[in-house]
Amino acid sequence: MLSSNETKSWPSAVRCRCRCRADSDRKEEVRLGTDKVGYSFAPIIFIWFLLIGGIGVYNLVKYDVGVLRAFNPKYIVDYFKRNGKQGWISLGGVVLCITGTEAMFADLGHFNIRAIQISFSFVLLPSVSLAYIGQAAYLTKYPANVGDTFYKSIPGIAVVFVMTITTFMVTLIMLLIWQTSIWWITLFVVVFGGVELVYLSSVLYKFVQGGYLPLAFAFILMMMMGIWHYVHVKKYKFELHNIVSSDYIRELAQKTTLRRIPGIGLLYSELVQGVPPIFSHFTEKIPSIHSVVVIVSIKQLPIPHVEIAERYLFRQVEPSDFRLYRCVVRYGYIDALEEPKAFERSLIQQLKNYIEEENILRKSDAPRQSEVQLEELNDNTKPRSGSSTVHIEETLEQNILSNETHSSERISIEKSHKIEEEKQIIEKELEKGVVYLVGEADVMAKQDSSILKKIIVNYIYNFMRRNSRQGDRVLMIPRDKLLKVGMTYEI
């Protein structure tokens, strides 16, 4: 093991050059994507783990193999008996040995569970354990080389808090989602929660030594998330209370001043029901709308994957000849958003399928109406003489069934032509182009609101919104097809 004196003997220019070179290489790789970083740095990190594990074995063999006796639980009991309160306080230093393990679970978005399990069990854990054991063996011979500054400067409060919160969240999952037995849940809380609370009580002892800093950061972030959620809910309720009525849509469809421009318009909204107020705002300010309009709502479901056939949920807004549709697009948490061209083609294909299925369902209701008509006629024309009842009923039934057959054939042909005509219209409009309409709401507090609410909504929230990632970038909307519609919401 290299001591601090040996590392200090290196020229500062060499150490600075090596660090700058590593940082510049890493930043150069980051711009290419995290997968390129993984391919490039995986061999380097693997060699690094082999080296620190090898150095640990070297220090263990050379200085003191007896440190392996620390695996015996008897020594931890003797340690606390011998040191008392100081032994309990020293648990905060033990937290430093596990501060990197929680980062393994942050990589679940890049690697699968099995890859993390294998790398953690066979590479990281043995290498890090050997490195710490080797350091312990070295310090038994040279105790003066241990540095207290590193241990005092990193209290570890944030790490233990994260572990405690994770245990609490897993407990809720076991109780509400997995519906595990209460005895297993109790055992889990006692074992894991008890150990983490002991460590948490130890690191809280170092609160005044710097532990307040991560708690302050956590409080600020929590306030930001709370403000964002509060205003976002108010904004959603405003849209929900100001949805466009059906009467307005019917009047709009009958207006001769409304110009229908060629193409398909995809109007994005967070509402899953009704027409958002941004639609009426758009048609009032610009009296023109696309020939086909689809109000799209993107929703994430708490399941891994949603099949394409089940991803799109359509509803038609009456009147039908206005060609205004609602569509809820549902994704699982591992589903990736499609490219714009693929998304447009998939959405329009599912829209044509919906038109065909909807007309088939409407046609299937015709026999039921005929049955009701037959029953009404039987009740109204039933004679008093029972001898002629059967003859009259048979005659009526034959007449109705004959008329129904001819009318159903005529309706079926007309429906088929209408379905094909609607599908051809939508296909032609798709060829003319697709425009993405995104509402950009400027949220403001009402005039009679309190000063605190005005500060939160008008300044803090709007500042965060202006500096947050725009929704059109998250939804992968092409810039050359994007049309933003501004509107002010007073909440």
pLDDT digits (tens, 9 = 90+) for 415-455: 778 888 888 888 888 888 889 988 888 889 988 889 999 99
Cβ-based neighbour number of residue 164 at 10 Å: 16
The confidence score (pLDDT) of residue 411 equals 54
Q: Which of 101, 122, 146 is the last residue before a domain boundary?
A: 146
Q: How far apart are CA 114 and CA 105, in angstroms?
A: 12
Cross-strand partners of 487: 441
62 within some domain = yes
Residue 14 vs residue 389, higher pLDDT: 389
The confidence score (pLDDT) of residue 456 equals 92
Residue 117 vs residue 314, higher pLDDT: 314
296 shares its domain with 423: yes
The band of 374, judged by pLDDT with boundaries at 50, 70 and 90, is: very low
Residue 117 vs residue 154, higher pLDDT: 117
Mean per-residue pLDDT, 167-171: 90
316 within some domain = yes
Q: How far apart are CA 6 and CA 17, in angstroms?
A: 18
Long-range contacts from 207-211, C-beta under 8 angstroms, 24+ separation: 207/155, 207/157, 209/152, 209/155, 210/152, 210/153, 210/154, 210/155, 211/155, 211/157
372 within some domain = no
375 within some domain = no
Stated as kind and residue range, the H or E segment containing 314 is strand 312-317
301 within some domain = yes
Mean per-residue pLDDT, 273-288: 87
**If we measure between CA atoms, which residue out of 423, 438, 422 comes closest to residue 266?**
438
320 within some domain = yes
Indicate whether 251 pLDDT > 60.
Answer: yes
Strands 312-317 and 324-331, bridge-based pairing: antiparallel
The confidence score (pLDDT) of residue 225 equals 93
The tokens describing 306, both together, are: 């949603």
Contact 51, 58 (CB under 8 A): no
The confidence score (pLDDT) of residue 228 equals 92
Mean per-residue pLDDT, 15-21: 43
Mean per-residue pLDDT, 115-139: 84
Range(s) of the domain holding residue 121: 1-146
The confidence score (pLDDT) of residue 396 equals 46
310 shares its domain with 450: yes
Contact 170, 191 (CB under 8 A): no
128 shares its domain with 277: no
**Which range, of 28-37, 72-81, 420-429, averages the lowest pLDDT?**
28-37
Residue 371 vs residue 202, higher pLDDT: 202
The confidence score (pLDDT) of residue 150 equals 40
The band of 13, judged by pLDDT with boundaries at 50, 70 and 90, is: very low
Could you give the count of Cα atoms lying within 13 Å of 409 in the half-sphere of its Cβ?
Answer: 5
Stated as kind and residue range, the H or E segment containing 116 is helix 113-119
212 within some domain = no
Q: How far apart are CA 23 and CA 332, in angstroms?
A: 36
Number of domains in the chain: 2
Indicate whether 124 pLDDT > 90.
Answer: no
The tokens describing 468, both together, are: 């947050």
389-432 and 366-380 helices cross at what angle (nearest 10)? 150
131 shares its domain with 268: no
243 within some domain = no
Q: Which of 112, 146, 180 is the last residue before a domain boundary?
A: 146
Residue 141 vs residue 379, higher pLDDT: 141
Backbone angles phi, psi at 175, to 5 degrees: -80, -45
The confidence score (pLDDT) of residue 109 equals 55
Indicate whether 405 pLDDT > 80.
Answer: no
7 shares its domain with 134: yes
The confidence score (pLDDT) of residue 252 equals 87
Q: Which of 116, 146, 176 is the last residue before a domain boundary?
A: 146
The band of 475, judged by pLDDT with boundaries at 50, 70 and 90, is: confident
